Structure 1
Amino acid sequence: MVALISKPHRQNSYAYQRVFWQIGLVASSLGFCLISTLGIMRPSLTAERIYASYSVVERSISVAALERYAREGILDDELAVYAQYINPQQLEQLRRVLLTRIELTPVAVAQFLYTPQGIILLERLGQIIQTEARQPGFYAIRSALILAAATPDGLTLLNVLRQFPTRSIRINLTRSLQIAEQLDRLVSQTAQAIALVQKDAMNAAFAQPLDVWQLPDLRERGSLSWNQQTLTLSDPRRNRQFLVDMYLPLNLAKPTPVIVISHGLGSDRTSFIYLATQLASYGFAVAVPEHPGSNAEQLRSLLSGVAAEVAQPNEFINRPLDIRYLLNELERLRISDARFRNIDVQHVGVIGQSFGGYTALALAGAELNFEQLQKDCTGLSDSPLWNVSLLLQCRALELPKTGYVLRDPRVKAAIAINPITSSIFGEASIRQIAVPVMIVSGSADTIAPTLAEQIRPFSWLTTPDKYLAVIVGATHFSTIGEATPGSEPIVVPPQVIGPTPEVARLYMSTLSVPFFQLYINNSQQYRPYLSSAYAQAISENSLPLSLVRSLSNTALEQFLR
């Protein structure tokens, strides 16, 4: 069933997607700063001292000393003992971390911390941050975060320490150092993997040079105009209604292939307007559905206390089925509505970001891998949280273990941006993908880390037409479009957004056009754009871009030893 709406309802999806992860980042920072500085994150009016124990050795520092430094920049004798082990830049960073305010209400913080994802975060932090009685700090940390958000100064790490409900805070330094060593290894391996990709890209560009300036500039808009209209689709089988924004090129006499864009968790259909209009200007019919169980509205419901979590496990099934139902309805509209008569629903491309990246790869042929999930998610609460996306992936274990068929044969090519893949699919399922795929990764992605979620999974692909684009310095949010006019953006730390996101968006606009022109339209003249040399030519210093077509899993693992 379908209905037309004249004006789409636009939401501030970018801000709402970020706010979900902010709470996790605050909680994580509470532990990670302690790892590096013996508890340098804990000024509190309730807690008087911070104790760090290692074997039989115990050190402590007063909260008052930390607060004086944070507020006034004064290093008293007590703090100076510890300050000699870190450089001035780290000291200044400590001060900023202590005072940075996160604009979240107590209800929003509480709602997140009572979700399955929030509980796992607290359980992990509780291993490191303990109460005065040396008990895990699970409840104390949760209480401190909620109470801090309710203070006039708002949610800062300084206020979290003030609200900690015991007179002293104890840090398990033995466990902290173990986690720090694991983190150092992960950071080193990620840097090595990115260096390998960059080296391979440079070698490929040197081996096959390209006179880029003889090619039309795909960074510019295409020559075609388009119109935009919104559909309301109702799937009675799933009792699910959702909106779809359509961007239809004008005056096309020949069949027009469809590109579907799937947004990420807590986002919405306005997040990739820039990409939809770019593709429409080059002759594609673009459909941007809004997934109701994992969109910005669902996140608002969570933060206001209406919903229990940001996405139910069945969203792993509903998202691909949303797109299948959309394609079925477009096929029907070809017959009944003249505006859709020229669209080609048998040759479809899919782009997805984050949870949408999962959606794109599921439609391309990757199957849910319950065996891999069971292996990776067992003991999740006891392992270090370097891969935040596992908090979402492991929720799929709540699904009935039946044979889900999510692949759609009409999907002929897929682009997955910052996808979550490692456990929900694993190597066995990634190898099942037979259509052309491009995986896009940001080296500074702390939500779906580049090595675990993109670089290794790319090396598992067996499809002959595969591409890996690595944007050095890009975060999980760099490719998401700007907030729409009239929205109220939420202020977040710059490192969460990342530098020059407009550059990352330009890369996506530029690479998606030739990818779909080649693999959906079979327009061979676009092949030179999908080369290491072209990526190198359009790369900008603020966010360097590398593109490779192959990466051996064996070579990668040997390189990381």
Structure 2
Amino acid sequence: MPASRPSFRHRPSRPLLGGACLGLGLLSSALLLLWTARPASAAELLVIQLEDLEIPVRLDQLEAWSRREPSLPPWDGARASGETPLPASATGPGPAHSLVSGTDSHAITTADQGPSASGFPIAGDARLTGESGTLNPDTAQTGSDLEVWLNLLEPQSRRGVARLLQAPLLREQSFGSQLLDSWAGGQMLAEVGELLTTPEGRSTAPELQSTLRRLLRERREVTTLALLRSLPVSQVRLRLDSLLDLAEQWRRQIRQQSNALAALQTLALPKRNARALLPAETQLSPRRVELTVAHRSEPLPVDLWPGQGPEASRLPWLLVLPGLGGNADQLGWFAGALAQRGWSVAVPQHPGSDGRALRDALDGRTPPPGAATLATRLRDVAAVLAARRDGRLPLSGDGMVLVGHSLGGLTALLAAGVEPEPGLARRCSQAIERLPIGNPSRLLQCELVTTGLPQALPRPADLRGLVLFNGFGSLLWPDGATASLPVPVLMVGGSLDLVTPPLQEQLQLFLPAGDPRSRLVLVEGGSHFSPVRLAERQEAVLQLGREWVGVDPATVQTLLLGLGSEFLHSLKLPVLLPAQVRLQQGVRAYVLDPAAARRWRRRLKS
């Protein structure tokens, strides 16, 4: 009787083999996470580790596979017809090119039976060592074909893996060095080091750091495969268990937001179609002024949009703050449309954390802008407020409103005098114990522990309200940010926002609301970038896919303009914005007053 070996059959209910197949399918996801770290030196073997299964992959043959455009396997037609596909190595004799130390390919076998009923192959020889099912790279000389595993992916995904392996991760030495030196880059590098370990299980973060720096000095481009093959270890282990844990964070966040939307739909809010409203377009153009400020060596650019009509002097003026890496003109649609309706608006550019700063970082001229720019942004706000008071900014208005997108929203809260709660370092030690891929804004919040948290400004005496698009700050204000504000807040989020997720950020900041006129809005299908408009002539700083942009941004912006103007009118008139479901050309937004927001949170907890 042959030596005892683990018996493997493809059973959907069996978690190990099912997980292994999924794990190999997620190889592309694992490699995608490596973009933040690019290493160098002499690795020959990548061991994919999932539960008790280890699959050795020769990097030179993985590279050879990636250099060929993967062709459709002969069983793709069967897949399309609904039949169960069998890899060629399981349906007929003959050698097959092997990516795992070996020359022939065959299916997994049991101790006494022939090929498994499913015909699913496993990388390496069927000779497994130990009871755990660990593949021995030294004995896997006649193993089956990893190419067959990769061919289990859909053709588009398979081509994506090949492109990912060969595509340049970095083309600029200077940007790579700046990224490595940044706080956020260090956090991501440490996480990747925990996923890619040495045979002894030690993090490869130090090797990733040194190897990447060397590669960036030696070549113009660094690819994923170059990174893996250049590590100064003979073998690298990819911990798919940990990778799947990270992926589960992402899936859990998506499920949570989907469930939250379903709970919102049970609140039985009255439906209201949007009034006939001109699209969020304007024929106006801003006047740019260069404001001399003490804290900058160069003048501060500010776009001014004077309010049109006789109401301008009686309405509050707005100070609109772009997000990190954003420009004044990206929120010009909002500023111009409101100016056309009577509100005067000022939009500062924030050099050092605007679009040019992000482009300079990508070109390697400066470090990536981050939390360290928050203090300068607050000084910009103070300078604009002072200039408006002493007449250097000729904007009419009775009182003022702070408006911000993303980091601009965080800046607005601090500019409104909302002091962060003590204990940020302690909260961050828990929040970023693992990379917070379900809420990336927490990286920026926790960077403030290192850079220093700036003090809030004194609350402007004429402050009338705040409008926050995709705002965040849950770690700064774990008990809510609006309770201490004596003015109403319009807090807007999107159901598809995976940068500042609405439950953890906007809902948590909104409650307990201090003013009954405050409103929380969730746009169904809205994303983190819905309020941002990039002109077609612009070279977009971020090339975003549809899944990141969300539903039609122009329609969402028209909806937000309507809700925003009604909220602004409510600052002086009776409440014009009751709790409701607002419909705008097929886009749906849930408008919650404080009582409805509390009901929503109770349903989420139950």
Give me the TM-score of the superposition, normalised by structure 2.
Answer: 0.71
- Whichever residue aligns with residue 518 of structure 1, its letter is S
What secondary structure is seen at the aligned counterpart in 1 of 2:330?
coil
Q: 2:176 is matched by which residue type in structure 1? A: V
State the match for 2:389 in structure 1: 331
1:50 aligned to 2:108? no
CA distance in 1, matches of 2:251, 2:302: 44
Mapped pair 1:517 → 2:514: no
Amino acid across the alignment from 2:337 = Q
Structure 2 match to 1:27: none
Matched position secondary structure for 1:426: coil
CA separation of 1:189 and 1:247: change in aligned 2, threshold 3 A: same
Q: Residues of 2 paired with 1:85 and 1:124: CA distance?
A: 28
**Tell me, what secondary structure is at the counterpart of 1:272?**
helix
Q: What is the aligned counterpart of 1:352 among 404, 409, 430?
A: 404
Please give the alpha-carbon distance, in whole angstroms, between the structure 1 residues aligned to 2:478 and 2:579. 27
Gaps of 5+ in 2: 1-21, 33-39, 74-96, 98-143
Alignment-derived partner of residue 467 in structure 1: 519
**TM-aligned CA distance change 1:451 to 1:220, over 3 Å:** closer
Specify whether residues 306 and 555 from structure 1 end up closer, same or farther in structure 2 by C-alpha distance, changes over 3 A only. Answer: same
Deviation at 1:158, TM superposition (A): 5.5
Q: Do the aligned partners of residues 309 and 231 (structure 1) sit closer, same or farther apart at CA in structure 2, a change above 3 Å counting?
A: same
- Superposed displacement of residue 284, structure 1: 1.0
Among candidates 503, 528, 546, match of residue 451 of structure 1: 503
- 2:70 is aligned with 1:73: yes
Deviation at 1:194, TM superposition (A): 2.5
Change (3 A) 1:302 1:254: closer
What is the distance in 1 between the residues matched to 2:273 and 2:472? 36
Once residues 286 and 139 of structure 1 are traced to their aligned partners in structure 2, the CA distance between those partners, rounded to angstroms, is 49
Equivalent of residue 269 in structure 2, options 187, 196, 204: 204
**Segment of structure 1 superposing worse, 271-280 or 409-418:** 409-418
Correspondence for 1:232: 290
Q: Which position in structure 1 is the counterpart of 2:176?
A: 109
1:279 offset after TM fit, Å?
Answer: 0.9
Aligned AA (2:277): D
Q: Aligned in 2, Cα 1:405/1:34: closer, same or farther, shift over 3 Å?
A: farther
Letter in 1 for 2:555: V
Letter in 1 for 2:269: A
Paired residue type of 1:73: P
Q: Cα distance 1:383–1:221, how it changes in 2: closer, same or farther (>3 A)?
A: closer
TM superposition shift of 1:278: 0.8
Q: Matches of 1:35 and 1:388 in 2, distance apart?
A: 26
Counting only pairs closer than 5 Å after superposition, residues 78-477 of structure 1 correspond to structure 2 as 78-79=145-146, 82=149, 91=158, 94=161, 97-98=164-165, 105-131=172-198, 134-142=201-209, 157=224, 160-161=227-228, 164=231, 166-200=233-267, 203-205=268-270, 209-210=271-272, 212=274, 215-219=275-279, 226=284, 228-236=286-294, 241-250=299-308, 252=310, 255=313, 256-311=315-370, 313=372, 315-333=373-391, 340=394, 343-344=396-397, 346-371=398-423, 373-378=424-429, 382-386=433-437, 387-398=439-450, 404-477=456-529
In the TM superposition, residue 484 of structure 1 has moved relative to its aligned partner by: 6.7
Distance of 1:305 and 1:131 partners within structure 2: 31
499-508 or 436-445: which moved more?
Answer: 499-508
Aligned residue in 1 for 2:56: 60
Kindly indicate whether residue 543 of structure 2 is the aligned counterpart of residue 492 of structure 1.
yes
Distance 1:123 1:415 in 2: 36
Shift of 1:163: 5.2
Tell me which moved more, 264-273 or 59-68: 59-68
Q: Structure 1 residues 482, 370: closer, same or farther in 2, change over 3 A?
A: same
- 1:353 Cα deviation from its structure 2 partner: 0.9
Residue identity over aligned pairs, in percent, reads: 21
**How far 1:423 sits from its partner (Å)?**
0.9
- Residue matched to 2:26: 37
Contact persistence 1:41–1:161 (CA under 8 A): no
- Which moves more between the two structures, 427-436 or 265-274? 427-436
Contact 2:24 2:149 in 1 (8 A): no
Name the CA shift for 1:537/1:270 in 2 (closer, same or farther; >3 Å): closer
Q: Deviations over 1:488-519 (max 9, x none)?
A: 34573525752433333333333322222222
TM-score normalized by the length of structure 1: 0.76
Contact 2:481 2:510 in 1 (8 A): no
1:549 is matched with: 593
- Structure 1 portions without partners, runs of 5+: 1-32
What letter is aligned with 1:322? D
Deviation at 1:91, TM superposition (A): 4.8
Name the one with the larger helix percent. Answer: 1
Asked which structure has the greater CA Rg, the reply is 2
Matched to 2:562, the amino acid is: T
Q: How many residues align?
A: 503
C-alpha separation in 1, matches of 2:498 and 2:216: 24
- The superposition leaves residues 91-122 of structure 1 with CA deviations (integer Å, 9 ceiling, x where unpaired) of 56645655666785332233122201100111
Counterpart of 2:570 in 1: which secondary structure?
helix
**Cα distance change on mapping 1:268 and 1:155 into 2, 3 Å:** farther
Identify if the C-alpha distance between structure 1 residues 78 and 62 changes in structure 2 by more than 3 Å, giving closer, same or farther: farther
- The alpha-carbon distance between structure 1 residues 65 and 99, as it changes in their structure 2 partners (threshold 3 A), is closer
Q: Which moved more, 1:64-73 or 1:276-285?
A: 64-73
User: Displacement, 1:437?
Assistant: 1.5
Name 2:82's counterpart in structure 1. Answer: none
2:280, 2:557 within 8 Å by CA — same for their partners in 1? Answer: no
Contact 2:171 2:222 in 1 (8 A): yes
Correspondence for 1:23: none
Residues 161, 72 of structure 1: alpha-carbon distance in 2 compared, 3 angstrom cutoff: farther
Q: Which amino acid aligns with 1:284?
A: W
Instruction: Report the Cα distance in structure 1 between the residues aligned to 2:422 and 2:320, rounded to whole angstroms.
Output: 26
Q: What is the letter of the counterpart of residue 263 of structure 2?
A: L
Distance (Å, rounded) in 1 between the aligned partners of 2:369 and 2:186: 13
Q: What's the offset of the Cα at 1:258? A: 1.0
Q: Label 1:557 to 1:472 Cα distance change in 2 as closer, same or farther (>3 A).
A: same
Judged with a 3 Å threshold, the aligned counterparts in structure 2 of structure 1 residues 325 and 190 are, in CA distance, closer, same or farther, namely same
How far, CA to CA, are the matches of 1:368 and 1:36 in structure 2? 43
Q: Do the aligned residues in 2 keep the contact of 1:148 with 1:156 (CA within 8 Å)? A: no
Shift of the alpha carbon at 1:352? 0.8
Change (3 A) 1:259 1:42: closer
2-side partners of 1:48 and 1:190: how far apart? 42
Distance in 2, Cα, partners of 1:480 & 1:94: 31
The structure-2 alpha-carbon separation of the partners of 1:467 and 1:61, relative to structure 1 and needing over 3 Å to count, comes to farther
Displacement after TM superposition at 1:69 (Å): 5.7
**Cα displacement (A) at 1:379:** 5.7
Read off the aligned partner of 1:382 and give its amino acid letter.
E
Q: Is 156-165 or 459-468 further displaced after alignment?
A: 156-165
Distance of 1:406 and 1:50 partners within structure 2: 56
For the aligned residue pairs, the C-alpha RMSD in angstroms reads 3.9
Tell me, yes or no, if the aligned pair for 1:144 and 1:161 is still in contact at 8 Å.
no
Q: Is the 8 A contact 2:300 2:351 kept in 1?
A: yes
| Greater relative contact order structure (CA < 8 Å, 6+ sep) | 1
CA separation in 1, counterparts of 2:485 and 2:520? 15
